């Protein structure tokens, strides 16, 4: 596979040798798909939502079918699944950064994950309006057993809107054993069909003004919602165990996509920079060396993000998700803010129209802003990193004390 | 007027002695109005828009009527108008910072300004999609005279949506004399009723996803639009002259309101900080000293913005708008970014729901973001300030050369 | 006094009307003094230190004498002293910002303060190497009474070097009553002549590499140092009471001077910008619009600092030092970092030589860096501001709850 | 070689598999050498300078001898030299980051490079006080041939001090052909023994107050300095060709060392964080979660720098110095500022003593600050990157235009 193909333009030279032939082929296919099928379809997709805000668009249905045929589905699936194309995290990261260029190019995969081949959609529902969900041990929505059923009571926010009829079930995080002495064994995950009696759709939520139709976000009230005991995933009290496995990939998946969005916004800024129609004070925007410096800084920021995320992906490949936790946190803390900064600067270089629906950038910024909070605010992740670091302090104390003792010895000999 | 009233809580001690009794009375009236009538009406106003997105809400109509009766209209009018309450810029700034707490509290005045007592609305329309409007000498929408009419051709963006039937005319910036040797005498301003034949409403625009109904933003195509010659304001080629007079107050008006928005977001962050329901890792948010430091920094940022804006307002009072131009630029460059930063941090302290319509903050952030571009991006204003500064460099060169000569003299005497 | 004089160039229009005739006259005298006597003498002063590093320079002695004759001494003294020129804090701030242009122009006053007319020097000595002195209640150097003497034991850092023979006494902060239930009554201040037996000069200290001769900084060991009981200032346990009175002015005094240093560095950057000898890629530095923007941002930063400090000075005039505490903290937290940033940027615009002794900037940067720690790190001051802010949170909680209740009432009436 | 050895603690998991057995062995040797021989010797080295400021210290002489015996010399030498240990850039980068922990641990190699085994020292001398040397084509110091000699006239700054008698020759960058139509062929490099008649040592220079003895920095005046023609390196007009080859490794060498300095400062901050003697407001510094967040951010910043520098080193290994130019610029622009920020924060966490000679940090900060200017200010490098980026804009313009065309096609088919 010729590495001169534009799909490889921003894959670091240090990463290219690590891509399998299969991965290279997939990267090119994903690139062609996103460039030729997804991005050009964005505006028609938007139009098809008009008047049918909560139905999946016909164009989206068509693209999904064709993606499945082209084997572009389930790229993210680990090798243990038979449908998996067998990409490493590093290879998948290279694909995801391309898919990220188009907001929904990766999205359809995520929603179809549970059923892989079907058309049903699920949503993960964790956050609650009444507790600090950034510390997930606070989740309070209750689940208790009555005979062969579990009964659920509580409130949830985000996690997709049931106005979208394709959303068929929630994967709900609940508190099943509030008195368990271990805070990490009190919670469970359970499958709840969206049409179960007792689920009240209170209202749709917007994020920075966006309703994100047709998936959407909403608030729900659960009152004595009953599901069969078989719907419990893995077993009572094992929610964190389940989460553990998918948190790493999930966290950096968002980061990878944000790099794609940043790269695309940056390309638009470069194009704007040479637009002969836009000449404040008689010069094209890219003739101002203040803008040349801004473009350079954005390029470096994007490259920095990419090195951080690819390092996390490869570390997971080498050591597993758990040992890679520091590199995942590195991505999760640094990327969303930096991507938002880059996209914001690109909008600014477009003047007033840069803030309108004329470009994809306002929505991309909103996504970056959202990821800064999704799965915990960056401050919470910094706390975790900082506490891990402090664990080594005692040992370093000995080492630094030793420096002084050896220096005294040397001075004594003088 | 007791300065202990909460309306004065954030007016600097150094400014209080400069407020007239009339101004103090007005500040209290504005405060009571905003706190008791406007902010509580926000959610109902939002609901009244549902299904009637482009009509001014009944509650808004009611509030406008009562504001007029309470003499809270036209606060901004200069003393030369008989309807003017006679406030200085500094005094008006104190009012505007309170009105800013509610997005539309000051808005109704702006829109009604042209007719003062009527219900008609106007919109200022300058920006164009095809040129770099940050340099207003680029404005290309053409106007030429044919007998007793002017004929207009061109494209415009922003400037209100005609889907709102209360919008009755545009104040249009046009290029009337493209060959004039002085770039500052090529443009004119003309009144164009919104129902004039030849104006095509191409589409509504959103800003960061917000349609800002019922005022809105839109794109227009002008094809041979004819208006009587009397509609020209002041005279041909005098657009920049007109702009000059209102730019200063207009620019800092936005800044004042942003301070009100920041102050309110900050109050919400303080309230969140002591919320006993929100306890990540067992502590209230305000028990984390990282958040204590963040709150402090936000308080200082708001106070910094306020000193800058009040200084600009008072400088205009003392020296006029033209001589105050540096202080106005100081506000225009510093405040929108700083306000956006403060509001962003307050959203972050609210977790995921901080980004939804649950709070006024996402819309406030969007407003701050917009003001960073409105009336020119901050980079353009920095360029202007920088060029002004460089004009003194030659004189400073002499002074610094003199230091060295005197130092040599001293050394010679040693 | 003509306000066109360059001494008033950077005093805000809003402040000028508040200056008394006496103050205006003083400001001009200070300006002429600094510009014509102090700055040109800098290099000779540096040369006179060579070989006599710890003796006050002859040129400094001469300038001191002449400053006293010109009544430029003791500008800072409150009106209660007969030697005071009677300036308000605001007026003094305007002088101090000019004196700040030359590192030591204000310095001689500070050192001579205790004796006003004499030539003896004192140094305030508080910090200790073994405790977190940012929280001054930790100060541990002990003082206890034995008959008619106090006996002192402990270690101190900073506070001037006794290698300078003109330093005649320390004002020492000590712990006199460690068991007092109130942490604010455990400490005292005592006068200790530098030649008292038992004081060991351990070593001189450098700050960022500077020895700051001839005043200097040093580390001391106090072993059974005895002083007569009359040397206690005000009374046992009253150290914080004494400190309280002078902290405000002391803190903003540093900030004022940093503004002078920043303004001078900025002037040098402007001069550099038009230097015809310095042409990277064929353009003068000031022809790059990236530098034009940088210069503008620096000007705005300096103006921002000035508004903050002058507001603090005037608030102290109006309300006293205690009520002005928030405005003082505002200065203390914002100014040192911002001044360091401005000076750093000016150095950068000078290329490699900007970091050498060729300019005053490296020393000025070091001073700004030092002030960020002197009298407590900025984090400690932010903590204090944040804790003060949180005291209002409960009241705001009620207000924001009321908004919601009123909104519900309105909705119910609909 | 056990990768559990602390020498590998901060080498990314993704880099470890790329280290040869020889490299791993060397890394451990370097680590032991720096930790046990260099860092403990710092204070004695400082003491040996007292009174002999410009002579290489006896301890340094001893360490050099032993390093040579231990084969720790010439680690940086490319494989083409017989003395080379044959490390890749990536492997050398891992060593250099460890050597960086001690300011002079790598220094002795640099100075001895020209003669490898001897004791003579050279210094590279390029910068001039009279031109903008950030654009090296401005270098003006002239060289012209007279018979069998070259005659040199001009002024130079930096490049070592001849007060250090071990400095035996300069490698001087001169302008040999000012009229050459190609700006890149006007300059040459020539070897000039320091004792050549006509070289005047004008004065020593300090950098941020540091004299950096015994190597030092100085200003020189060259008046008719004559050297034999054999002293010309490579040929007339080939200075940029020579520079090209060593610029890449030279630039990232500084960056690597800065990472070592940052890592060591960070360790000191961690140790400080658990110091039981330092308790502002009753808590250890590391018990404040604001500091926990700061420590986390520093760890992430250091890790970010490391990924960037190692990526540059490996890219040079894979593609050569020229093709790696973007990754080198990435390091050069990002690392010095970020390292200075980390070290500054670590100083701040140490309170006042953090700014004194008590710790290595003030000198380390100064080094980072210096590197931000050495070899061109970061703005110049950003300009270069930005100009390179703009070269792709036209191609991107076509691509983005194609998106729109394809979208129109799709819409037409609807």
pLDDT tens digits, B313-366: 999 999 988 889 999 999 999 999 999 999 999 999 999 999 999 999 999 999
CB-CB neighbors (< 8 A) of B277 in chain A: 130-132
Interface size, chain C vs chain D, as Cβ–Cβ contacts under 8 Å: 132
Asked whether A380 and B280 are in contact (CB, 8 A), the reply is yes
Q: What pLDDT, on a 0 to 100 scale, did the predictor assign at position C198?
A: 97
Give the whole-angstrom CA distance, residue C168 versus residue C175: 22
Report pLDDT for B345.
98
Instruction: Say which residues have a Cβ less than 8 Å from residue A357's Cβ, sequence separation at least 6.
Output: A46, B205, B206, B209
Closest-CA residue of chain A to D90? A14
Q: Would you call C217 and D130 a contact, using CB atoms and an 8 Å cutoff? A: no
| D293 at interface of B, judged by CB pairs closer than 8 A | yes
Q: What is the pLDDT of residue C106?
A: 67
Handedness of CA A343, A348, A352, A353 (dihedral sign): negative
CA B155 to chain centre: 24
Q: For D319, which residue in chain A has the nearest alpha carbon?
A: A13
- Calculate the alpha carbon distances from D409 to A29, A174, A360, D13 in Å: 22, 48, 19, 48
pLDDT on residue A2? 61
| Comparison of pLDDT for B225 and B407, the residue scoring more | B225
Chain B: residue whose CA lies nearest to D283: B289
- When the pLDDT of each residue in chain C is averaged and rounded to a whole number, the result is 89
Number of Cβ within a 10 Å radius of residue D278: 22
**Which partners does chain C have (≥3 C-beta pairs < 8 Å)?**
A, B, D
For residue B108, what pLDDT band results from cuts at 50, 70 and 90?
very low
Q: Please report all neighbours of B, defined by 3+ CB atom pairs within 8 A.
A: A, C, D
- Of A92, A72, A83, A399, whose CA–CA distance to A260 is shortest? A92
Interchain CB distance below 8 Å, B297 and C382: yes
In terms of Cα–Cα distance, which of C8, C26, C7 is closest to C17? Answer: C8
Report yes or no: A407 at the D interface, CB cutoff 8 Å.
yes
Q: Which of residues 155-214 of D touch B (CB under 8 A)?
A: none
Interface of C with B in 319-338 (CB under 8 A): 319, 323-324, 327, 330, 333-334
Q: Does A293 touch chain B (CB under 8 A)?
A: no
- Higher-pLDDT residue of B172, D52: B172
Residue in D157, D363, D366 nearest the CB of C352 = D157
Interval B114-127: pLDDT, tens: 444 445 678 889 99
Q: From the CA of B105, how many Å to the nearest CA of chain C?
A: 15
Comparing alpha-carbon positions, the chain A residue that sits nearest to C293 is A290
The pLDDT tens digits of the residues spanning C178-192 come to 999 999 999 999 999
Contact D292 B292 (CB under 8 A): no
What part of C 335-354 touches D (C-beta under 8 Å)? Answer: 344, 348, 351-354
- Using 50, 70 and 90 to split pLDDT, how confident is the model at C321? confident
> Cis peptide before D214, with omega less than 30 degrees from 0?
yes
Question: Looking at CA atoms only, how far is residue C134 from chain D in angstroms?
Answer: 7
Give me the total of CB pairs closer than 8 Å, taking one residue from chain A and one from chain C: 12
Q: What was the pLDDT predicted at A155? A: 97
B290 contact residues in D (CB cutoff 8 A): 288-290, 292-293
CB spacing of B330 vs C297 below 8 angstroms: no
- Residue among C186, C109, C194 nearest C144 (CA): C186
**Interface check B278 vs A, CB under 8 A:** yes
For C289, name the nearest residue in chain B, comparing CA atoms only.
B383
DSSP A16: G
Q: CB contact, 8 Å: C288 with chain A?
A: yes
Average pLDDT, chain D: 89
What residues of D are in contact with residue B288 (Cβ under 8 Å)?
289-290
Vertex A98: Cα angle to D303 and A161 (nearest 5): 100
Residue B290: closest CA among chain D residues belongs to which residue? D290
Angle at B260 between CA B256 and CA B264, to 5 degrees: 165
Return residues 24-53 of C near B (CB < 8 Å): 35-36, 39-44, 47
Residue of C nearest to B407 (CA): C40
Within 8 A by CB and 6+ apart from D168, the residues are: D120, D121, D122, D193, D194
| Beta-carbon contacts below 8 Å between A and D | 194
Residues of B in contact with D290 (CB under 8 A): 288-290, 292-293
List of chain C residues whose C-beta atoms are within 8 Å of the C-beta of residue D379 = 290, 348
Residue of B279, B289, B291, B292 to mutate, interface with D, max D Cβ within 10 Å: B289
Quote the ipTM score.
0.91
pLDDT value of position B299: 97
Residues 6+ apart with CB under 8 A from B82: none
Of A134, A363, A370, the CB nearest to B209: A363
Opening angle at CA D121, ends D120 and D123, nearest 5: 155
Partner chains of A (3+ C-beta pairs under 8 Å): B, C, D
Domains of chain B listed by start with CATH number: 9-115 (1.10.540.10), 121-237 (2.40.110.10), 240-376 (1.20.140.10)
pLDDT score for C8? 93
CB contact under 8 A, A289 and C292: no
**Which residues in chain D show pLDDT less than 70?**
1-2, 78, 80-81, 106-120
Contacts of D293 in chain A (CB under 8 A): 379, 382-383, 386
Residues of chain A with pLDDT under 50: 1, 108-118
Residue B96: pLDDT band (50, 70, 90) is confident
Question: Are residues D393 and A293, on separate chains, in Cβ contact within 8 Å?
Answer: no
Dihedral sign for Cα atoms in the order C394, C396, C399, C404: negative
Distance in angstroms (rounded) separating the CA atoms of residues D388 and A286: 12
CA distances (Å), B12 to each of A373, C259, C328, D32, in order?
Answer: 35, 21, 13, 60
Tokens 């680029």 belong to: B138
Q: What is the pLDDT of residues A345-364, one digit of tens each?
A: 999 999 999 999 999 999 99
Among A8, A16, A268, A292, the strongest candidate for a mutation testing the D interface, having the largest count of D CBs within 10 A, is A292
Average pLDDT over residues C329-340: 97
Quote the CA–CA distance of A56 and A165 in Å, as a whole number. 9
Mean predicted confidence (pLDDT) in B149-171? 92
Which chain B residues touch A279 with a CB distance below 8 Å?
131-132, 135, 138
How many contacts, defined by CB atoms under 8 Å, are there between B and C? 195
The residue of chain B nearest to residue C398, with distances taken between CA atoms, is B271
Gap from D161 CA to chain A (nearest CA, Å): 28
Distance from CA of D90 to the nearest CA of B (A): 38
Interface test with D, best of B290, B292, B296, B297 (most D CBs within 10 A): B290
Give the gap in angstroms from C-alpha A382 to the nearest C-alpha of chain C. 18
């Amino acid at each position: 596979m010729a590495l001169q193909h534009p799909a490889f333009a921003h894959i670091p030279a240090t990463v290219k040798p690590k891509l399998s032939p299969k991965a290279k082929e997939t990267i090119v296919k994903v690139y062609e798909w996103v460039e030729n099928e997804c991005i050009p379809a964005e505006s028609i997709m938007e139009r098809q939502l008009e008047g049918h805000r909560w139905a999946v668009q016909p164009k989206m249905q068509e693209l999904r079918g064709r993606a499945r045929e082209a084997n572009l589905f389930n790229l993210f699936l680990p090798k243990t699944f038979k449908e998996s194309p067998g990409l490493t995290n590093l290879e998948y990261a290279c694909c995801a950064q391309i898919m990220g260029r188009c907001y929904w190019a990766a999205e359809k995969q995520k929603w179809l994950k549970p059923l892989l081949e079907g058309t049903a959609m699920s949503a993960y529902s964790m956050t609650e309006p009444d507790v600090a969900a950034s510390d997930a041990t606070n989740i309070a929505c209750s689940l208790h057993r009555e005979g062969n059923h579990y009964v659920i009571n509580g409130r949830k926010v985000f996690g997709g809107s049931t106005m979208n009829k394709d959303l068929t079930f929630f994967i709900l995080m609940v508190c099943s054993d509030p008195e368990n002495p271990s805070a990490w064994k009190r919670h469970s995950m359970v499958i709840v069909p969206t049409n179960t009696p007792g689920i009240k759709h209170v209202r749709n939520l917007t994020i920075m003004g966006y309703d994100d139709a047709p998936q959407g976000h909403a608030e729900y009230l659960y009152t004595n919602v009953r599901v069969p005991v078989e719907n419990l995933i893995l077993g009572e009290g094992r929610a964190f165990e389940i989460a553990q496995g998918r948190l790493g990939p999930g966290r950096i998946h968002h980061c990878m996509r944000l790099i794609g969005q940043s790269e695309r916004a940056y390309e638009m800024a470069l194009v704007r920079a040479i637009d002969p129609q836009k000449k404040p004070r008689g010069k094209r925007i890219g003739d101002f060396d203040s803008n040349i410096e801004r473009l350079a800084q954005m390029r470096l920021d994007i490259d920095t993000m990419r090195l951080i995320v690819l390092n996390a992906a490869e570390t997971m490949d080498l050591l597993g998700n758990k040992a890679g936790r520091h590199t995942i946190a590195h991505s999760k803390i640094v990327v969303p803010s930096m991507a938002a900064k880059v996209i914001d600067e690109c909008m600014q270089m477009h003047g007033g129209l840069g803030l309108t629906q004329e470009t994809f950038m306002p929505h991309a910024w909103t996504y970056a802003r959202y990821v800064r909070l999704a799965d915990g605010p960056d401050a919470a992740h910094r706390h975790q990193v900082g506490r891990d670091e402090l664990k080594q302090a005692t040992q370093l104390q000995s080492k630094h004390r030793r420096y002084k003792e050896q220096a005294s010895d040397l001075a004594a000999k003088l």
